[in-house]
Amino acid sequence: MDPLDYASNEELLGRLAGRGAAESLLQEHGSLTSLATASFDDLTRVPGVGKSKAAAIKSAFLLAQRLSREAIPESPLVDSPIQVANLLREENRTYQTEHFQALLLNTRRRLIRAVHLSTGTLNEVHVHARDVFRAAISANASAVIVVHNLCAAAHKLCYVERPLMCRRPPVAPLFSRVLAREGRYA
């Protein structure tokens, strides 16, 4: 956590306008909402707040308003081998060696992020379970799908094994693996 996450409104405003000006602004306006609606001229009337500090304060509130209106796109649903292959096919298509990746999912099976964990040789890739679970824990993932591509020309099949449930520690269900190549599935 960033130390600013625990800062008071006065401390945060003090970063923009200085401690004395922040105290005066909050006393005069009473709330952040009132301060956000204050005009540029109202802000500059407060002792210690010039044009540059008033512009910084107005800019901060305008950015906050824009952030609240910004639409957050929903991440892709990943609950079938076809969706996994479609998500990673183009990335894996050009690899000349085997690569091991993990898809970290939330409780609704939506992608949090894809993590590249290891690069191997032409026909094998090594990865330790701690690397997979470290990534899953740091992302607060509730499920993990591990994926590796097959580079040998003879291997052109994609399959998924049954989910493996972790008994100790209860971190996340682990879908054992998806092998992706050439867009065919079993």
Instruction: List the chain domain ranges.
Output: 3-69, 81-180
Helix (H, G, I), strand (E, B) or coil at 115: strand
C-alpha–C-alpha distance, residues 66 and 114, integer Å: 28
Q: What's the N-to-C CA distance of the chain in angstroms?
A: 45
**Per-residue confidence (pLDDT) for residue 84, from 0 to 100:** 85
- CATH ID of 3-69, from 3.30.200.20, 3.40.250.10, 1.10.150.20, 1.10.260.40: 1.10.150.20
Nearest to 126 by CA among 118, 137, 134, 138: 118
* CA-based max dimension of the chain: 76
Distances (CA, A) of 7 to 11, 13, 14, 18, 58: 6, 10, 10, 14, 20
pTM for this predicted structure: 0.54
Judge whether 125 and 146 are in contact, CB under 8 Å: no
Backbone torsions φ then ψ of 13, nearest 5 degrees: -65, -35
**Per-residue confidence (pLDDT) for residue 32, from 0 to 100:** 87
- Class of the domain covering 81-180: alpha beta
The sheet with strand 143-149 has its strands ordered as 111-119, 99-105, 143-149, 174-180, 163-164
C-alpha–C-alpha distance, residues 186 and 141, integer Å: 27
Per-residue pLDDT of the chain (186 residues; tens, 9 = 90+): 577 888 898 999 999 889 999 999 999 988 888 898 899 899 999 888 999 999 999 999 889 888 877 766 788 998 888 888 888 877 777 778 888 889 999 999 999 999 999 888 887 888 888 888 899 999 999 989 888 776 544 344 333 333 433 334 434 455 545 554 555 444
